[in-house]
């Protein structure tokens, strides 16, 4: 069919070969070793997961519109919220930013032609896909209603579908490990000449910290899922109290991965926001070193706080106290980041392009999410708020208001680079505002519901909660319309978007300054040599003003202030 | 070339970290249950035959040594010696698995299964039917089982590497796959260095 | 001569043999020590010997001593995080029930004790299982 479609000859000759059009066969896509194409494979797959899990969320919210039965039976409801959680956490948000934007952007920001192990990169994608297939199998096998946490002993006694689901999580974890490993080695070994650690874009720093967490934490969910599998099939009695096991031990195992996983989800978002703040404030990101190292600090501290998910599980009081205290500490590096972002805007001149609107939404929503997290770390308060909608609201503010918003912002920001086309700025901005409003209507309400005592995951509720539930559900529709508008904006851009220049935002990182939009198959025509920092817009202006290529200019960023 | 070698090696080390963390879950489970039921674990280490475990330790240490020697040989481009050492490694690994097989089958014959099906009988195993014995054996089977899988995988890789060496794919200028396989094999050995005393001796 | 090719370190044969010998000796030692009753000391001694053996394998067989320092850091990290996992879990499990409203004895143990207390009452079959509670 592609043969018969008439392609205007002018385009065919004038467009230089880029990574999208140099080979159009399906095989060249499915067996590609190009990090950019792999990123797009992930983009499509992960977007489908997001769509499915998002629709599940809408259905769950719709069911809660009235007390009692609205749309579905309780069992269906339990399965829907479980699947929403499992899909969103393990197949959407954990791989999202690293696998899509990390893959696409990070090697280019390093000035590398690809990641360190391109074959491994492709393998990670297919392993992820196998995980996805197993999830579908598990859904077809039916009745997964464990929530995304798979707590024992319930999960160990449920039907065989749990086996598929735990295998799926195990295998998806493998994909995550291999991606992390690949990225760490890439960042260590593939940096362009002159790209010292102090000149790495903050997005790279955050991907680096994320990858370390992935490599260290993910194997533990592997062994946990394996033990759960054996508990289920052979009744090995490690987690099941009826056999002499300890269900709280399962929670330790689970959260040793799943709490650091929270930072796998949020750290890349921090990186995107740092880059956006720099570019759209046209100012060097304030406190570069602190922002970079706070990612590493968060990654480390993230391993020491998993027990704050277990304050009411019956774990020892001493461990609750230790975990609670360390939880407060995470506020410090996180605060360092937020302050520096605000400082960057204060010193720079802000342009309110769509990506920046998302960055501002992020700043607002993530701050709420983070602060309520510290509140939940308070032992006494947590007894009241545990397992209520307050917790649900908190982690949606961090995961959705933080990561997803940052990811959408980043996607807008890198869209011209990925596709070579601009999107419609008006539509983009309207979508950003809709998402911001819809999100707050949906989830701020849930903070109120939670403090009033509405427990999470319940199918039915007392009539006095109904009004707030209805507001929340209406919010979910606004949110969804905003998200669909984003999808529409992107499709519109693909069909009718204006051609993007190589550096439409005037950014100073290598993927903008040294590659075409879209980039050529090997990214760079010649090996770039880095002579200035990632947010040194003055140096950039000088270079482009002279019309000169990168020469061995002296380092200017230090002397400027 | 050197860059590529460096990158591959670092990748392997990071992979080994994930392996260590994978096993760490089992070591944590072991420690937690040992702290809870020290007398059970004390008693039950006697249920395992330290002579078989000790033999396996020596065999694995030997295989670790021969892998190190195979790298030493290929660095000197002595392909014949490299293949010989790799084959000895394989023989050691096979011996380890045979002993493991004997240990497992003897236990299964006497009703020593992991978990709920634990029902020991026979004069050696019957006295070990104490509370939390199933947990000990669950941990034993899972730990040694996962380790055994790693040995089998290692055997496959070593066989492949040996064949490639024999075909002349490697010399002192390029031997990255042998070096990486060696690292993996040493890790498998290290895990056993810990499993042996924890399960068989104390 | 040992450092001839490729700029890579070649570990001398004699050193490999020495390390292998030490590993064998340490294995014999750990078995021997476990035969001696040291009370609470048996466990730490066994672990200490295992750690020494591990260090030998890591530094010489895996050649970390001559390797890029980043790799040594990577190994150190894995040890650090395994300890975190272990120690923080023990903060709970070793002190479980320090809140007075949670029983320290697991439910399964309580049930076992209850059935043991009931056993002497219905005599016969149960009594034969529990010789200690006989007459």
- Which position has the higher pLDDT, A379 or A15? A379
Partner B contacted by C105 (CB < 8 A): no
The answer to whether position C130 is within a domain reads no
Mean pLDDT check: name the lowest of A87-91, A191-195, B125-129: B125-129
Partner B contacted by C103 (CB < 8 A): no
* Domain range summary for chain A, segments of one domain joined by +: 23-538
**pLDDT > 70 fraction of chain A, expressed in percent and rounded:** 94
Question: Contact B32/C89 with Cβ under 8 angstroms?
Answer: yes
Average pLDDT over residues A386-396: 95
Largest CA distance in chain A: 76
Range(s) of the domain holding residue C37: 1-66
Query: Which two tokens mark A403?
Result: 């990561």
H runs (alpha helix) in chain C:
13-35, 42-56, 69-93, 107-118, 124-129
Closest by Cα among B136, B131, B202, B46 to C40: B202
Mean pLDDT check: name the lowest of A240-244, A309-313, A365-369: A240-244
CATH assignment of the domain containing B21: 1.20.120.80
CB pair distance less than 8 Å for A244 and B142: no
Determine the residue among A189, A218, A238, A315 to mutate to test chain B binding: the one whose Cβ has the most chain B Cβ atoms within 10 Å.
A238
pLDDT the model gives residue C102? 59
The pLDDT of residue C135 is above 50: no
SS3 A520: strand
Partner B contacted by C72 (CB < 8 A): no
Q: How far apart are the C-alpha atoms of B69 and A408, rounded to whole Å?
A: 53
Closest by Cα among A107, A209, A221 to A174: A221
Cβ-count burial A70-98 (b if 16+ within 10 Å, e if not): eebeeeebbbbbbbbbbbbbbbbbbbbbb
Angstrom CA distances, B166 to B78, B79, B89, B177, stand at 11, 7, 15, 14
Structural domain count of chain C: 2
- Provide the β-strand partners of residue A388: A455
Contacts of A293 by beta carbon, 8 Å cutoff, 6+ apart: none
On chain B, the residues whose CB falls within 8 A of the CB of A185 are 7, 10-11, 14
Other beta carbons less than 10 A from residue B2's beta carbon: 9
The answer to whether position C134 is within a domain reads no
CB pair distance less than 8 Å for A220 and B25: yes
CB pair distance less than 8 Å for C108 and A242: yes
Instruction: Select from A215, A236, A249 the Cβ nearest to the Cβ of B17.
Output: A215
CB pair distance less than 8 Å for B29 and A227: yes
On chain C, the residues whose CB falls within 8 A of the CB of B89 are none
pLDDT the model gives residue C5? 40
Q: Which helix (H) or strand (E) holds B198?
A: none
Tracing tokens 């956490």 back to the chain, one arrives at A89
Residue C120: pLDDT band (50, 70, 90) is: low
Whether residue C12 is found in the same domain as residue C49: yes
SS3 C61: helix
CB pair distance less than 8 Å for B132 and A185: no
φ, ψ at A456 (rounded to 5°): -75, 160
Question: Contact A58/A480 with Cβ under 8 angstroms?
Answer: yes
SS3 A22: coil
On chain B, the residues whose CB falls within 8 A of the CB of C62 are 182-183, 186
pLDDT the model gives residue A233? 87
Whether residue C80 is found in the same domain as residue C112: yes
Range(s) of the domain holding residue B87: 2-201
pLDDT the model gives residue C24? 94
CATH superfamily of A23-538: Cytochrome c oxidase-like, subunit I domain (1.20.210.10)
- Taken in order B29, B34, B40, B44, the sign of the CA dihedral is positive
Q: How far apart are the C-alpha atoms of B109 and B96, rounded to whole Å?
A: 20
Residue C37: pLDDT band (50, 70, 90) is: confident
Q: Give residue B115's region: left, alpha or beta (phi > 0; psi -120 to 50).
A: left
The pLDDT of residue A241 is above 60: yes
- Provide the β-strand partners of residue A520: A523
Closest by Cα among A409, A407, A468 to A443: A468
SS3 A475: helix
What is the mean pLDDT of each successive set of 10 residues along chain B, which is 202 residues long?
Answer: 80 94 94 91 89 94 95 92 95 96 92 84 85 90 95 96 93 91 95 94 88
Question: Contact C19/C60 with Cβ under 8 angstroms?
Answer: yes
The pLDDT of residue A200 is above 90: yes
Question: Contact A291/A344 with Cβ under 8 angstroms?
Answer: no
Angstrom CA distances, C89 to A15, A34, A223, stand at 59, 42, 16
User: How many Å lie between the alpha carbon of C67 and the closest alpha carbon of chain A?
Assistant: 15
For A45-73, how does the pLDDT look when each residue is reduced to its tens digit (9 = 90+)? 999 999 999 999 999 999 999 999 999 99
Question: Contact A435/A408 with Cβ under 8 angstroms?
Answer: yes
On chain B, the residues whose CB falls within 8 A of the CB of A213 are none
Cβ-count burial A28-59 (b if 16+ within 10 Å, e if not): eeeebebbbbbbbbbbebbbebbebbbebbbb
- Which position has the higher pLDDT, C135 or B183? B183
Query: Which two tokens mark A414?
Result: 């890198």
């Amino acid at each position: 069919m592609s043969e018969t479609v008439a392609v205007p000859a002018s385009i065919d000759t004038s467009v230089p070969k880029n990574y999208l059009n140099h080979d159009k066969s399906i095989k060249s896509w499915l067996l590609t070793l190009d990090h950019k194409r792999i990123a797009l494979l992930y983009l499509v797959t992960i977007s489908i997961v997001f769509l499915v899990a998002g629709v599940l969320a809408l259905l769950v919210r719709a069911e809660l519109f009235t007390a009692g039965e609205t749309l579905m039976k309780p069992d269906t409801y339990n399965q829907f919220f479980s699947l929403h959680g499992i899909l969103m956490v393990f197949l959407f948000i954990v791989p999202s930013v690293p696998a899509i934007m990390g893959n696409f952007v990070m090697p280019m920001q390093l000035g590398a032609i690809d990641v360190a192990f391109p074959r491994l990169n492709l393998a990670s994608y297919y392993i992820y896909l196998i995980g996805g297939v197993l999830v579908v199998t598990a859904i077809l096998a039916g009745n997964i209603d464990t929530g995304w946490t798979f707590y024992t002993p319930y999960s160990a006694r449920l039907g065989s579908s749990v086996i598929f689901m735990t295998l799926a999580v195990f295998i998806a974890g493998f994909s995550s490990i291999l991606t992390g490993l690949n990225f760490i080695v890439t960042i260590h070994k593939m940096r362009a000449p002159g790209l010292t650690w102090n000149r790495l874009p903050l997005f790279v720093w955050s991907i680096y910290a994320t990858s370390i967490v992935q490599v260290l934490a993910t194997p533990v969910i592997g062994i946990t899922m394996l033990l759960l599998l054996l508990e289920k099939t052979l009744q090995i009695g490690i987690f099941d109290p009826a056999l002499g096991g300890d269900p709280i031990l399962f929670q330790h195992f689970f959260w040793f991965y799943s709490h650091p996983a929270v930072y796998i989800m949020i750290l890349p978002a921090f990186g995107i926001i740092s880059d956006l703040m720099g570019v759209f404030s046209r100012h060097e990101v304030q406190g570069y070193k602190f922002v970079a190292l706070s990612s590493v600090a968060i990654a480390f501290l993230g391993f020491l706080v998993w027990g704050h998910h277990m304050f009411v599980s019956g774990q020892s009081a001493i461990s609750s106290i230790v975990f609670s205290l360390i939880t407060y500490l995470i506020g410090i590096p996180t605060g360092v980041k937020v302050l520096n972002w605000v400082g960057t805007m204060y010193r720079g001149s802000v342009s309110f392009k769509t990506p920046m609107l998302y960055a501002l939404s992020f700043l607002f929503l993530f701050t709420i999410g983070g602060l309520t997290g510290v509140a939940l770390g308070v032992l006494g308060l947590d007894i009241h708020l545990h397992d209520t909608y307050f917790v649900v609201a908190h982690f949606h503010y961090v995961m959705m208001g933080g990561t997803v918003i940052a990811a959408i912002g980043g996607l807008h920001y890198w869209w011209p680079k990925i596709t070579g086309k601009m999107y419609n700025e008006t539509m983009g901005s309207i979508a950003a505002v809709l998402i911001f409003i819809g999100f707050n209507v949906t989830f701020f309400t849930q903070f109120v519901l939670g403090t009033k005592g509405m427990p999470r995951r319940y199918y039915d509720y007392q009539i006095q909660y109904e009004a707030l539930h209805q507001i929340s559900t209406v919010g979910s529709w606004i949110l969804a319309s905003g998200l669909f508008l984003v999808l529409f904006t992107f499709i519109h851009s693909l069909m009718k978007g204006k051609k993007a220049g190589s550096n439409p935002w005037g950014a100073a990182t290598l993927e903008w300054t040294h590659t075409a939009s879209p980039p050529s198959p090997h990214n760079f025509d010649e090996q770039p040599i880095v002579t200035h920092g990632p947010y040194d817009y003055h140096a950039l202006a000088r270079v482009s003003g002279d019309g000169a290529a990168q020469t061995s200019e002296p380092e200017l960023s230090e002397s400027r202030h | 070339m050197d860059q590529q070698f460096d990158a591959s090696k670092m990748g392997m080390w990071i992979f080994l970290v994930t392996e260590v963390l994978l096993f760490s879950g089992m070591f944590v489970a072991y420690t937690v249950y040992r702290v809870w039921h020290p007398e059970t674990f004390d008693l039950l280490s006697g249920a395992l035959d330290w002579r078989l475990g000790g033999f396996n330790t020596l065999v694995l240490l030997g295989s670790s040594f021969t892998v190190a020697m195979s790298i030493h040989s290929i660095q000197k481009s002595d392909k014949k010696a490299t293949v010989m050492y790799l084959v000895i490694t394989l023989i050691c690994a096979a011996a380890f698995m045979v002993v493991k097989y004997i240990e497992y089958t003897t236990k299964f014959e006497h009703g020593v299964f992991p978990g709920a099906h634990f029902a020991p009988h026979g004069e050696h195993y019957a006295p070990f039917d104490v509370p939390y014995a199933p947990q000990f054996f669950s941990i034993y089977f899972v730990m040694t089982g996962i380790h055994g899988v790693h040995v089998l995988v290692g055997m496959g890789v070593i066989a492949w590497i040996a064949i490639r060496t024999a075909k002349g794919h490697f010399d002192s200028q390029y031997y990255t796959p042998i070096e990486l396989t060696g690292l993996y094999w040493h890790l498998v050995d290290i895990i056993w260095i810990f499993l042996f005393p924890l399960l068989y001796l104390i | 001569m040992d450092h001839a090719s490729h700029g890579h370190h070649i570990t001398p044969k004699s050193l490999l043999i020495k390390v292998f010998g030490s590993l064998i000796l340490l294995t014999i030692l750990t078995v021997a020590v476990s035969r001696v009753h040291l009370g609470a000391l048996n466990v730490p001694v066994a672990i200490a010997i295992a750690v020494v053996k591990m260090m030998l394998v890591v530094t010489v067989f895996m050649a970390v001593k001559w390797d890029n320092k980043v790799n040594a850091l990577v190994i150190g990290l894995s040890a650090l995080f395994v300890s975190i996992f272990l120690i923080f879990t023990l903060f709970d499990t070793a002190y479980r029930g320090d809140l007075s409203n949670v029983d320290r004895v697991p439910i399964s143990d309580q049930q076992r004790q209850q059935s043991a207390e009931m056993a002497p009452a219905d005599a016969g079959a149960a009594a034969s299982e529990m010789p200690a509670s006989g007459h």
